[in-house]
Chain A
């Protein structure tokens, strides 16, 4: 294709991507470099139904001129990125000097909000992604070998977790694991411990969130692998059977290599999705035991009354960087494999 033709061909996609992806990211980045102007406090008396007291208020006159001159706020450079709510370099250096052992140092670092969120986010991604891949493949192979009559209904039922809205699905599960819910009460009976609570223990909460994550994402990988299974070449499969390969060997040496590109695709999607884990933490009310980068952003925008846009912007940028780092190994592998097969073709 000529360069000129290629340019006109790609132009609509490119402009849409710039408009809807690149520009918003740039704007978030610019916002993350700014903080609010100084708020001048004036002491005043506040009175209401419950009496009067000394209080303070923002002197609007004093801050208005500043706001109009620099509507974005005060330029803060990358300092938001390294403050205590984010990378916390100063705090970590301080803890490193003060800690007497590596254990206490790590415990103190874990106490910082960003690292606490990162720890859960990474664990969640690392656990959920492989499970979704392996179980998705297992379910796909299983469904594929069912008699034709049962296939349709089984596929439909297997897709249910994805059809249910994530927020609703996790809320239902949240009520089921309650001490009075069907799962929670059964567990209490089985372990003969009336105070057993999935919501009160950090470990059990983490397990519950990950089990939910696997349950929710499984249909996606299942349906992708199932589609792939329909294209496994019959000739190769028959040749393997004639050569005396067992079912397991056929799966290992014919089916899985054939599905490898799909596995890369599912891995990429899952890494991105899982790194942004959000809904289950909110609907399970699990913030006491588990936070994620997305929850931190949500909190900055919602919970302190007047939103902290700079802080939320900085965490968003770091989420994007985190996803990019996670995806790099997969992308490099794909690129190398692509080059190798291209070389073979020549």
Chain B
């Protein structure tokens, strides 16, 4: 037994050693400085990069913070920039590109292509601006035991089925508020609206311009769907975001949820909840309007970018180090932390929702320069409609007015 363990340990150590030896870390003696958000999958990638290339770099520093989004533009503006790389997502790449703070990666991708597959490349106008490594999306979570108790034998696939299931659970007296959604006023509310709006086939802007088109029949239909849904949510829904909805779910106080896929493994693991909840929780595609229609979701990726205002050698070393971490070994060791877009990923139950949503043809979160302003206007102005103080038309007219004012200030509209 001892011998066997010893042999395995030795083999693993040998493998790790050879992997580190084999990693192509680019120019030596450079400074690698990474700014990233703070969740396990990103830690896993940066850990792997540091293990492979940290020794060869003069400096390998990292700042994992949930405030990455708010400091990234200021941090990358000076020359040389504070960080050589920011690990970012759809909307944050747009935020950096608006100020021209990230560099095209075409040459680097060609040189360090070993761990990169074509579908990881985020190209805009022909230039690779980021390399994605994981996907995320909001989708449906369902408790099959409670659905069965209420006489529903399949997981809802459309909004109508979702509403019917919620009503059945309420009518059976199992739960008054069976549905949880991330509806905290501000970004979360705006995002939940976006899901349903895109599910209804809505368009945010006239193509190629910054002229808003949310006050449309699709927009009104989406708002009405949203209002029908929140009738089954806890009365405090306007204060609830991911931490609160996950808490309600793990406490067994919800049976249907529209939540982030990245919360899936935290919900399904054996911490913070009872077996009754974890064993009966199913992660499914986001609901659509019509059966087989576009899932009401926005697809997200997380990926690496390289700062513009750093030396070419630093840029190359940083890129090489991060890409060296995108190996099947790293994925295998952290399989359930994310829906990896990398080789070696075995989708488990926690990834089923995101995978089904992407397969169903859901739209990516739009990478449009002025989308942040629109998102903010939606998050602030839709509350009055949900509280019953305004009509849907009025709320969407307010959104467009608030957006237009801000977009004029930001220079997108004249």
Interface residues of A (CB under 8 A from B): 35-39, 41-51, 53-58, 60, 63-64, 74, 76, 80, 83-85, 91, 111, 113, 178-179, 194-195, 197, 199-200, 202, 284-288, 299, 302-306, 308, 310-311
Are B185 and A36 closer than 8 Å at their CB atoms? no
Binds A, one of B35-43, B53-61, B164-172, B235-243: B235-243
Are B390 and A36 closer than 8 Å at their CB atoms? no
In the complex, chain B residues whose CB is within 8 Å of the CB of A43: 207-208
Are B405 and A83 closer than 8 Å at their CB atoms? yes
C-alpha gap A6/B21 in the complex (Å): 73
From residue B342, how far is it (CB to closest CB) to chain A in Å? 11
Closest residue of B by beta carbon distance from A73: B411
Are A37 and B411 closer than 8 Å at their CB atoms? yes
Interface residues of B (CB under 8 A from A): 70, 73, 91-92, 94-95, 97-100, 119-126, 132, 135, 176, 184-187, 207-210, 234-236, 238-239, 299, 301, 341, 358, 362-364, 366-373, 375-376, 379-380, 383-384, 387, 390, 398, 401-402, 404-406, 408-412, 414
Do A304 and B406 form a contact, CB below 8 Å, given A46-B367, A55-B368, A179-B236? Answer: yes
In the complex, chain B residues whose CB is within 8 Å of the CB of A303: 186-187, 376, 379
From residue B236, how far is it (CB to closest CB) to chain A in Å? 4
Are A39 and B412 closer than 8 Å at their CB atoms? yes
Tell me which of B95, B380, B405 contacts A299 (CB under 8 A).
B380
Are B208 and A41 closer than 8 Å at their CB atoms? yes
From residue B404, how far is it (CB to closest CB) to chain A in Å? 8
In the complex, chain B residues whose CB is within 8 Å of the CB of A37: 411
Are A288 and B387 closer than 8 Å at their CB atoms? yes
A-B contact pairs, 26 of them (CB 8 A): A35-B409, A38-B414, A39-B410, A46-B123, A46-B125, A47-B121, A48-B122, A48-B132, A49-B341, A50-B301, A53-B364, A56-B210, A84-B402, A85-B406, A179-B234, A199-B239, A200-B236, A200-B238, A284-B239, A286-B239, A287-B383, A302-B70, A303-B186, A305-B98, A305-B371, A311-B409
Are A50 and B239 closer than 8 Å at their CB atoms? no
Binding site secondary structure of chain B: mixed
Are A310 and B409 closer than 8 Å at their CB atoms? yes
In the complex, chain B residues whose CB is within 8 Å of the CB of A42: 125
From residue B198, how far is it (CB to closest CB) to chain A in Å? 12
Are B384 and A111 closer than 8 Å at their CB atoms? yes
In the complex, chain A residues whose CB is within 8 Å of the CB of B235: 179, 195, 197, 199-200
Tell me which of A83, A199, A306 contacts B98 (CB under 8 A).
A306
Instruction: Name the residue among B364, B368, B411 with the largest chain A CB count within 10 angstroms.
Output: B411
In the complex, chain B residues whose CB is within 8 Å of the CB of A310: 409
Are B98 and A44 closer than 8 Å at their CB atoms? no
If A53-B363, A74-B411, A178-B236 are given as contacts, then 20 extra A-B residue pairs at C-beta distance below 8 Å, sorted by A number, are A38-B411, A41-B208, A45-B123, A46-B123, A48-B121, A49-B119, A50-B299, A55-B366, A56-B209, A58-B97, A83-B409, A85-B405, A287-B185, A287-B186, A305-B91, A305-B375, A305-B376, A306-B98, A308-B410, A310-B409
Are A54 and B238 closer than 8 Å at their CB atoms? no
